[in-house]
A and B are shown apart, each in its own frame.
Chain A
Amino acid sequence: MNPAIVRGLYVRMLRIRLVEEKIAELYPEQQMRCPVHLSVGQEAVAVGVCAALEPEDYAISTHRSHAHYLAKGGNLKAMLGELYGRVTGCCHGKGGSMHLIDRSVGFLGAVPIVGSTIPIGVGAAFGTVLRKEHRVTIVFLGDGATEEGVFHEAVNFAVLKRLPVIFVCENNFFSVYSSLAVRQPPIRKIYELARGYGLDSHQGDGNDVEAVYGLAKAAVEKARRGDGPTFLEFKTYRWREHCGPYYDNHLGYRSEREFEEWKARCPIARFKQQLLQRELITKQDLDGIEASLAAEVEEAVAFAKSSPFPEPQLLEEHLYAS
């Protein structure tokens, strides 16, 4: 793989990590007055998939969308402005963390109703076909979404119409506090379920960004050739609580040991070691990258915090499109 692309994967993962760790640090100030669902630990899926896309390709996401939004190129200042409820936010403060959007980079939106964006993403892909465009659409979903009826409805239609859509399932084993074991039979793998619909379906290590990139790249090329949809399941792990800035292993719904095992497989630390070993990057480079990303995050936070709140008249605006 081109060394520049490899380094780019690292930089993008680290950027997302730094943004989300900063959100976790600042959240207790109670100024971000909306729920936040952090992707810390899951960055490799977002980055590996989006690195395989062209800017005009589409992506659509879920409640846990920060990483997807940033990986697709979403504007960081507009994201933080949105979390802080400011008029400079990507929805002028009307959406919050669970409704990120940046149409300028093909990020179609995110919503917190589990599974709801799956058919919408399929519909976007359908629309591109009707319009004879050659875009690819990524639908990000979690393991819980594969239990929703619309997942099955949307996948059936995508296969029926051979749509240029890629379903990217981040299997982090938990729907909030409910483990996969109480929700799906252990003998049936999620990617095998998808295969049952006639989907070309694969699984990969969601904490290995190069593996994610490789599978995504092949799926994107296939979709662009007109050879139809693909389902990709990536096992990964959410480090922090379902919603909010803290850790919640003390609740007992998952074990400290399981958490530590996954933490040891941190997609960013692991990749950093590989890059150093493969001499694709130097310690000096790394320091420079981290410093410049940290400065970018600080600047974006300062921008968001100093941005004005929306004026009251914005309440009644945007009910209908003209």
Chain B
Amino acid sequence: MSTTRDLRFFQAINEATDLCLARDPSVYLIGLHVPADPKGVFGTTLGLQKKYGPDRVMDMPTSENGMTGVAIGSALVGMRPIMVHQRIEFALLAVEQIINQAANWHYMFGGQDAMPLVIRMMIGRGWGQGPQHSQSLQAMFAHVPGLKVVMPATPYDAKGLLIAAVEDNNPVIYLEHRWLHNIFGPVPEGHYTVPLGKARTARPGRDITIVATSYMVLESLRAADLLARDGIEAEVVDVRSLRPLDTGHIIESVHRTGRLMAVDGAWRSLGFAAEVLALVAERAYGTLRASPKRVTFPDLPSPSTPALAQHFYPRAVHIVNGVRTMMGLQEVTEEQLGIQHETPLDVPDKAFTGPF
């Protein structure tokens, strides 16, 4: 029986990577500054090169597309690379290799080759990360058949999903939100996996299903606590995997609650939240007691200055009011809800100081 301790999210990622490197000699970790960064890519790769050496944990040239091709080629001959991008935007340079090659390879060659490749991408936020350091592009990757896309929201899932991703024989995009790296949560020691393609109920409830991704799971849980004070029991579904999507879990929940809100930290139009609404409209339309709602970012680039960013990112109050509207209740303010922000809105906690 393994012991469970509280770990931070970044420690869970580090521990999962450590474990994968220890268990399978074909696993290697590669990314810009992975060994060189004194902070160890937000702590997630700290100490790993010292433990496994430069042939297993390595830096790379500033060549995202080419090096993604290199990772793909190595996967074709039996390696299991984990590639890390400190911001999702840098991975955009590699979209050709990710979409044309990694995603298609198994299918277009008639199922001959496995493509065991994990690409970790970080979604930044706050402290003026701005238009090219804080985009949330999960829908873009999750649109592509052949890729798997996961977004852990807890330290437990961060570890279990990463191990599952490394052990999977397909290209997995592993998206981690910067505002989750420092959160605490229970994490078992040793090996375990969280299956790709399975959602979890983060909080049970009977009145509305809130389907959320990544950091927005936390805001949704805060909102659910606030709603509960008024007797509204929200069920929060943490999808964990955007592709494959656990459609059955979502549909089952909506069947019970009769209401749906999709909360996604990303653009609204043609996004993941839109996909969830479409799914429910097609498969559970008759069970809906109110029009479903999306809580998302506006369709705008994300601004740097905190003065504008605070109006860009939705928070618990916006989820609460969305739900209240669906229930025919008046909207409320943060003051009325008793929300007091202990830190400025452009950081998740007091420990989060610039630059980062």
Contact = CB atoms under 8 A, between A and B. Distances in A.
Contacts of B146: 319-320
A119 B68 contact: yes
Nearest to A108: B76
Interface string A20-52: 000000000000000000000000000000000
A113 B100 contact: yes
Given A124-B74, A124-B77, A109 B106 contact: no
Contact of A92 (B28, B71, B110, B148): B110
Given A116-B96, A157-B66, A318-B111, A127 B79 contact: yes
Q: Which of B26, B73, B76 has the most CB of A within 10 A?
A: B73
Given A127-B76, A130-B55, A318-B107, A153 B96 contact: no
B284 to A, nearest CB: 24
Contact of A154 (B70, B77, B114): B70
A322 to B, nearest CB: 7
Interface string A86-130: 000111111100010101000011010100111111111111101
Given A113-B96, A149-B65, A321-B169, A123 B73 contact: yes
A321 B70 contact: no
Interface residues of A, number: 45
A94 B109 contact: yes
B115 A321 contact: yes
A215 interface: no
Interface string B129-145: 00000000000000001
A156 B115 CA distance: 24
Contacts of A111: 100-101
A150 interface: yes
Contact of A153 (B55, B67, B71, B100): B67
A119 B101 CA distance: 11
B63 interface: yes
Contacts of B97: 116, 119-120, 150
A5 interface: no
B330 interface: no
A160 interface: yes
Contacts of B148: 320
Interface string A126-161: 111011000000000000000001101110110010
A160 B61 CA distance: 9
A90 B110 contact: yes
Interface string B21-32: 000001010000
A59 to B, nearest CB: 12
Given A94-B109, A318-B110, A120 B77 contact: no
A84 interface: no
A320 B106 contact: yes
Interface centre among A103, A121, A321 (most CB of B within 10 A): A321
Nearest to A131: B78
Interface in B71-91: 71-79
A91 B114 CA distance: 14
Contacts of B68: 119
Contacts of A154: 63, 66, 69-70
26 contacts: A90-B109, A94-B109, A99-B109, A103-B112, A109-B109, A113-B101, A119-B66, A120-B69, A120-B73, A120-B76, A120-B97, A122-B73, A123-B76, A126-B74, A127-B77, A130-B26, A149-B66, A150-B66, A150-B69, A153-B69, A154-B66, A160-B61, A318-B107, A319-B145, A319-B146, A321-B114
Interface of A: 58, 60, 89-95, 99, 101, 103, 108-109, 111, 113, 116-128, 130-131, 149-150, 152-154, 156-157, 160, 317-322
